[in-house]
């Protein structure tokens, strides 16, 4: 086999060159391409013969899985299931970049995913209608391939194409993190500092949800943030949203007044509606009423283990387990709801 080489100019491929790459990959061929870490060797994940060929060319054991490359963080859900919120935080922070995340797979025990910080690789991925497996473009156990010359030294005559983008930018393999369960494990040290990964994995996101995101969830968020500050806690991110919020509206007048008495200014609050991305990325979701809990779980049963009524989770058992919606009911009802939320939040800070 003759291995062709395409020189990459201006860090990009033209349409004709991308079509050549796609044709080779679609036909079961192998293409070496640059990433920011090392050169990778790409094959069509949906083509069993191509994957078998990849194992043979690399002289790699068939029981050792390959990493998949993706070009959009939303593709995580195409391949993984039961993704932990902290795994999304890692992807949000380090992708595109030198981080491989191991997650529970939909059809296998686990799957490794990475989004490379390389224009050439991303441009190719965006044009494909099938996923790519892409280990390093070398023989297993050999030195990392940092240039097209390194690739050819090992694989010339064994693969169809090498995209020559010069020497890679980082020259250090991606950090590999097993984020399929807690605690996360760093399986391979790489370019990203282990400390940064551990700090991010240790953080939590708490989401307060009510109906309109104009009173109860606003109170809960503001009071909880104040309590965290008093406890010198910087490990928790807090947000709020409403199931049927009028997007862009502010906090109610009564909410502003009650929080002002606590020394809290929420005049800049802007209501937002709950969406799936918020829910997936939250470690703890606290609602005010049973109906809100049921509404969320109806479409997203996977959230059951991290969705609770605020008063129940906080073990604040005085009165009803629900917190009444005060909207349009006068200041007395507002105060009652406010006091319930404040008491629950005071307990909450020691539970998360």
Same fold, 4-200 and 203-348: no
pLDDT of residue 319: 77
SS (H, E, C) 171-224: CCCCEEEECCCCCCEEEECCCCCHHHHHHHHHCEEEEEEECCCCCHHHHHHHHH
pLDDT of residue 62: 83
Q: Among the CATH numbers 3.50.50.60, 3.90.870.10, 3.40.50.720, 3.40.50.2300, which is that of 4-200?
A: 3.90.870.10
Q: Is the peptide bond before 161 cis (omega within 30 degrees of 0)?
A: no
pLDDT of residue 157: 97
The rounded percent of the chain whose pLDDT value lies above 90 is: 94
CB atoms near residue 183 (< 10 Å): 10
pLDDT of residue 339: 96
Structure tokens at 231: 């406890």
- Separate counts of helices (H) and strands (E) for the chain: 13, 14
The fourth-level CATH superfamily of domain 203-348 is: Response regulator (3.40.50.2300)
Tens of pLDDT, residue by residue, the chain (352 residues)? 899 999 999 989 999 999 999 999 999 999 999 999 999 999 999 999 999 999 999 999 888 889 999 999 999 999 999 999 999 999 999 999 999 999 999 888 999 999 999 999 999 999 999 999 999 999 998 999 999 999 999 999 999 999 999 999 999 999 999 999 999 999 999 999 999 999 999 999 999 999 999 999 999 999 999 999 999 999 999 999 999 999 989 999 999 999 999 999 999 999 999 999 999 999 999 999 999 999 999 999 999 999 999 999 998 877 789 999 999 999 999 999 999 999 999 999 999 9
Write down the domain spans for the chain: 4-200, 203-348
Average pLDDT across the chain, whole number: 96
CA distance to 20, 85, 98, 206, 266, per residue, from 278 (Å): 40, 10, 25, 10, 21
Q: Which residues pair with 31 in a beta bridge?
A: 42, 161
Q: How far apart are CA 184 and CA 310, in angstroms?
A: 28
In tens, the pLDDT along 85-137 reads 999 999 999 999 999 999 999 888 999 999 999 999 999 999 999 999 999 99
Helix ranges restricted to H, the chain = 15-26, 48-58, 76-79, 85-94, 119-127, 148-155, 194-202, 216-230, 253-260, 276-280, 290-299, 310-313, 331-348
First to last CA, the chain: 60
pLDDT of residue 111: 97
Q: How far apart are CA 350 and CA 315, in angstroms?
A: 11
Residue 269: what are its φ and ψ, rounded to 5°? -60, 135
| Closest CA relative to residue 166, chosen from 133, 95, 118 | 118
Q: Are 6 and 20 in contact (CB under 8 A)?
A: yes
Q: How far apart are CA 266 and CA 175, in angstroms?
A: 40
Could you give the 3-state DSSP secondary structure of residue 308? Answer: strand
């Amino acid at each position: 086999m003759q291995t062709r080489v395409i020189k990459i100019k201006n860090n990009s491929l033209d349409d004709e060159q991308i079509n050549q790459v796609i044709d080779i990959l679609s036909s079961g061929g192998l293409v070496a391409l640059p990433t920011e870490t090392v050169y990778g060797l790409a094959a069509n994940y949906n083509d069993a013969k191509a994957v078998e060929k990849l194992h043979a060319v690399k002289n790699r054991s068939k029981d050792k899985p390959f990493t998949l490359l993706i070009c959009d963080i939303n593709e995580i859900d195409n391949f993984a299931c039961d993704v932990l919120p902290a795994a999304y935080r890692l992807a949000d922070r380090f992708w595109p970049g030198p981080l491989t995340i191991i997650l529970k797979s939909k059809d296998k025990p686990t799957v490794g995913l990475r989004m490379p910080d390389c224009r050439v690789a991303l441009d190719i991925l965006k044009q494909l209608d099938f996923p790519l497996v892409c280990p390093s473009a070398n023989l297993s156990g050999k030195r990392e391939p940092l240039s097209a010359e390194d690739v050819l030294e090992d694989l010339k005559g064994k693969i169809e194409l090498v995209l020559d983008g010069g020497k890679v930018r980082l020259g250090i393999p991606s950090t590999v993190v097993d984020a399929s369960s807690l605690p996360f494990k760093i399986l391979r040290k790489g370019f990203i500092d282990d400390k940064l990964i551990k700090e991010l994995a240790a953080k939590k996101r708490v989401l307060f949800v009510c109906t309109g995101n104009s009173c109860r969830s606003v109170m809960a968020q503001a009071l909880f943030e104040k309590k965290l500050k008093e406890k010198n806690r910087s490990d928790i991110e807090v947000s709020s949203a409403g199931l049927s919020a009028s997007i862009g509206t502010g906090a109610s007048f009564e909410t502003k007044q009650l929080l002002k008495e606590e020394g809290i200014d929420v005049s800049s609050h802007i209501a937002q509606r709950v969406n799936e991305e918020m829910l997936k990325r939250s470690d703890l979701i606290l609602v005010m009423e049973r109906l809100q809990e049921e509404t969320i779980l109806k479409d997203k049963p996977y959230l059951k283990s991290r969705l609770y009524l605020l008063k129940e989770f906080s073990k604040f058992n005085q009165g009803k387990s629900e917190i009444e919606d005060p909207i349009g009911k006068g200041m007395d009802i507002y105060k009652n709801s406010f006091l319930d939320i404040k008491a629950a939040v005071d307990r909450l800070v020691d539970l998360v």
